[in-house]
């Protein structure tokens, strides 16, 4: 009995030691996994917030860069930019044109506001009181145009923002630094409106580096912070740069409100810094679920079973082994996900750089010296629309190709109703789609818009076919404008000639030619199908976008 008791006691001690060790290991591993999951989710969220802020700052830079006119005292300066700023699909609440107005320019500005149909054309302070130009020594920043125009915003033009406590400092910083600046958080749309920030991008004069005005965009903080729902692992708040110890947090309805300090004097789990408008903003993350609770529960159960029943020691070893295998699989999946995410980010960066390079080439060629600015602006907006359309189509297909007939939609090219499209609806690669979209726009934009020699608009036929099979197959495209001639058709621009004769054929690895017949204008393009379809690009994109599988 003594020996049996000794053995039982020894087994009990061994069981207690083993159960205690197993409980410790379970607690350590489970808590590590929960911390990794929480930290990874926060990093992804902070990266998404930074990308969202970068997009909105890029919108301000692009919008300010499109101004190329010496006459800035106008109340319709946003008119040529409306289609461009909406093409970014950002969620700004209000866009405005703010001009630096000299005292002797008040009369001209008030006349422009009256001509545009605004309700109050008097140049006034931000609180609505009139300004006497004789008392001024320096230019004022005055709102001259707004978007969207509605009953709530129609009264804003004519107000000077220099005396605004937040916006005045923002304009001063932007004027001094010469780049986009963000304001402190303020109430948008009046005292009861949402809390947001305003981004001001300076517009430089064409002949000097002096700022003649600003393009501003107002954003709701809740959309910029990407506030989480009830199912999220954490809640995110913005540290108020105006007041120490004050946080901006979204309520259940998504409205951002102020609160003093942290909840229950709890320190944030992680603090991340993002950059917007030449300023650093601190995002504080609070974990909604204690990552150690589940680990403590599992460890307590394991310890209780080990103390109560010593014969489960072997089972505990099995359980620990099973837990290790499960954790190893989860870690492997997380590593695989991170590698795939890195590949996706690299691929996205590559595509964005290519698109920006194409847009830079379009802007440079279109706005080359000596060009008619009105014609150049229309061509520039149209070409950017063509690029925007093809990028939207590629995004819908996860960059695995675009149906060729989709490039002939009315929103992508002019005179689409006069184009007869004939040919198989093949899926072309992302690179080929971008080149063909610009090619189709260039051909359509230079077709004759007046009456031809026989008194009819040109009738356009766009046709293509695939010749041959396998690796020897070729893509043949033909564009023919009937009822036109070399005397009536608008000559191709310098950018168009380069695109038609060199860029598009070289991008597709083919050849092209254009000529006039007795009754038509013809453009022909021939290229190998392997460059038009690009199977390697489609397979590579498909592998990146494929769902994860358990190993």
Write the pLDDT tens digit of every residue in 443-498: 887 765 444 444 455 688 999 998 888 778 899 999 888 878 777 777 767 777 78
pLDDT the model gives residue 477: 92
**Per-domain residue ranges for the chain?**
31-294, 367-537
- Determine whether domain 31-294 maps to CATH 3.40.630.30: no
CB 75 within 8 A of CB 116: yes
Per-residue pLDDT of the chain (551 residues; tens, 9 = 90+): 556 566 666 766 676 677 776 777 777 777 777 778 888 888 888 898 888 888 888 888 887 777 665 566 877 777 777 776 676 656 788 888 899 888 888 888 888 888 888 888 888 888 888 888 888 888 889 998 888 888 888 888 988 888 888 898 998 898 888 889 999 998 887 777 888 899 999 988 777 777 888 989 998 888 777 766 666 778 888 888 878 878 888 876 777 888 887 666 678 888 889 998 888 988 888 887 766 666 666 767 767 666 666 655 544 444 555 566 677 788 888 887 777 767 656 666 666 666 666 676 666 666 664 456 666 676 667 667 666 766 776 666 666 677 888 877 766 677 777 788 898 888 888 778 778 888 887 788 776 544 444 445 568 899 999 888 877 889 999 988 887 877 777 776 777 778 788 888 888 888 999 888 888 889 999 999 888 886 655 555 544 444 444 44
Side-chain-side CA neighbours of 530 within 13 Å: the count stands at 7
The pairing of strands 419-422 and 459-467 is parallel
- CATH class of domain segment(s) 367-537: alpha beta
pLDDT the model gives residue 526: 92
- The 3-state secondary structure of 307-358, one letter per residue: HHCHHHHHHHHHHHHHHHHHHHHHHHHHHHHHHHHHHHHHHHHHHHHHHHHH
Measured on CA atoms in the order 261, 264, 267, 268, is the torsion positive or negative? Answer: negative
DSSP codes, 272-319: EEEEETTEEEEEEEEESS-TTHHHHHHHHHHHHHHHH-GGGHHHHHHH
CB 475 within 8 A of CB 464: yes
Radius of gyration of the chain (CA): 32
DSSP one-letter code for 100: E
Locate the DSSP E strands across 384-426.
402-403, 419-422
pLDDT the model gives residue 478: 92
d(CA 50, CA 56): 10
Locate the DSSP E strands across 107-245.
140-147, 181-182, 186-187, 195-204, 211-220, 234-239
Give first-to-last CA distance, the chain, whole Å: 52
CB 374 within 8 A of CB 366: no
Q: Which helix (H) or strand (E) holds 480?
A: strand 474-482
d(CA 190, CA 75): 23
pLDDT the model gives residue 543: 45
Single out the residue of 184, 248, 198, 209 nearest to residue 57, CA to CA: 198
d(CA 275, CA 216): 18
Q: What pLDDT, in 10s, does the model give residues 405-447?
A: 887 776 667 777 778 889 888 888 877 877 888 888 778 877 6
Read off the pTM.
0.50
CB 374 within 8 A of CB 421: no
pLDDT the model gives residue 549: 47
**Pair of tokens at residue 469:** 């099979």
Helices (H), 397-525: 430-445, 494-498, 504-508
């Amino acid at each position: 009995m003594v020996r049996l008791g000794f053995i039982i006691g020894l087994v009990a001690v061994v069981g207690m030691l083993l159960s205690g060790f197993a409980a410790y290991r379970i607690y350590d591993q489970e808590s590590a996994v929960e911390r990794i999951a929480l930290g990874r989710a926060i990093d992804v969220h902070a990266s998404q917030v930074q990308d969202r802020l970068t997009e909105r700052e890029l919108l301000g830079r692009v919008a300010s860069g499109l101004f190329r006119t010496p006459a800035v005292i106008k109340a319709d300066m946003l008119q040529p930019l409306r289609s461009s700023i909406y093409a970014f699909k950002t969620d700004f609440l209000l866009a405005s044109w703010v001009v630096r107005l000299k005292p002797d320019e008040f009369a001209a500005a008030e006349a422009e506001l009256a001509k545009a149909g605004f309700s109050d054309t008097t140049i006034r302070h931000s609180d609505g009181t009139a300004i006497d130009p004789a008392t001024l020594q320096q230019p004022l920043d005055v709102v001259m145009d707004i978007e969207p125009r509605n009953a709530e915003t129609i009264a804003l033009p004519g107000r000077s923002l220099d005396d605004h406590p937040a916006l005045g400092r923002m304009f001063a910083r932007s004027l001094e630094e010469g780049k986009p600046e963000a304001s402190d958080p303020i109430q948008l749309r009046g005292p009861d409106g949402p809390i947001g920030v305003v981004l001001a991008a300076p517009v430089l004069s064409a002949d000097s580096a002096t700022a003649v005005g600003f393009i501003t965009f107002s954003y709701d903080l809740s959309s910029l912070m990407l506030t989480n729902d009830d199912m999220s692992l954490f809640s995110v708040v913005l540290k108020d740069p105006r007041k120490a110890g004050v946080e901006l947090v979204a309520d259940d309805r998504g409205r951002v409100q102020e609160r003093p300090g942290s909840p229950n004097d709890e320190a944030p789990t992680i603090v991340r810094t993002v950059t917007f408008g030449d300023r650093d903003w601190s995002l504080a993350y609070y974990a909604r679920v204690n990552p150690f609770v589940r680990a403590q529960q599992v460890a307590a159960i394991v310890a209780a079973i080990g103390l109560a029943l010593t014969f489960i020691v072997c089972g505990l070893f099995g359980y620990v082994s099973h837990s290790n295998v499960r954790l190893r699989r989860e870690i492997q999946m997380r590593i695989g996900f991170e590698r795939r995410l890195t590949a996706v980010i690299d691929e996205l960066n590559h595509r964005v750089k290519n698109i920006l390079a194409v847009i830079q080439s379009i802007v440079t060629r279109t706005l080359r010296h000596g060009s008619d600015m009105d014609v150049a602006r229309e061509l520039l907006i149209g070409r950017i629309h063509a690029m925007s359309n093809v990028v939207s189509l590629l995004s819908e297909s996860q960059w695995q190709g675009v149906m060729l007939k989709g490039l002939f939609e009315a929103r992508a090219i002019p005179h689409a109703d006069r184009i007869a499209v004939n040919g198989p609806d093949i899926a072309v690669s992302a690179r080929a789609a971008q080149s063909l979209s610009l090619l189709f726009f260039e051909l359509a934009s230079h077709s004759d818009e007046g009456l031809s020699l026989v008194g009819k608009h040109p009738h356009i036929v766009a046709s293509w076919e695939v010749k041959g099979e396998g690796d020897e197959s070729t893509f043949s495209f033909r564009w023919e404008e009937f009822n036109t001639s070399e005397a009536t058709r608008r000559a191709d621009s310098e950018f168009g000639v380069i695109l038609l004769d060199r860029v598009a054929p070289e991008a597709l690895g083919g050849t092209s030619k254009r000529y006039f017949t007795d009754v038509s204008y013809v453009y022909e393009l021939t290229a190998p199908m392997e460059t038009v379809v690009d199977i390697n690009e489609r397979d590579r994109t498909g592998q990146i976008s494929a769902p994860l599988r358990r190993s």
